[in-house]
Amino acid sequence: MTTRINFNIDEGRKNAAMKKASQKGVSLSTVLNQATRAFVANTLDIGIVDRLLADDIDRSDDDIKHGRVTPHEEVLKELGFLRSS
């Protein structure tokens, strides 16, 4: 079963999206359905905040893999929250 969704969008953006979809041989409805599927599957990047966070996580993972980390207790000592032994 399908359902209808109505939402507001800038007319120029809608026209540009329709033109691009047409150039790729699909309808705007198909594009929006695919985007919705990807969003539900958590495979759609929907903004710069998400991209920046993902980039930070990738860099952090790389730092961990290469040993570029500082143990938590050492950071606390450097900040003066723990006394050195």
Q: HSE of 36 in the Cβ direction (CA atoms, 13 Å)?
A: 8
The helix-helix angle for 28-40 and 11-23 (nearest 10°) equals: 100
**pLDDT for the residue numbered 23:** 96
pLDDT digits (tens, 9 = 90+) for 50-59: 778 888 988 9
Query: Amino acid letter at 74?
Result: E
Q: HSE of 13 in the Cβ direction (CA atoms, 13 Å)?
A: 3
Dihedrals φ, ψ of 73, to 5°? Answer: -60, -35
**pLDDT for the residue numbered 83:** 75
Q: Residue 1 — very low, low, confident or very high, per pLDDT cuts 50/70/90?
A: very high
Domain definitions of the chain by residue range: 9-44, 45-85
The structure's pTM equals 0.54
Taking a C-beta distance cutoff of 8 angstroms, is the pair 36, 42 a contact? no
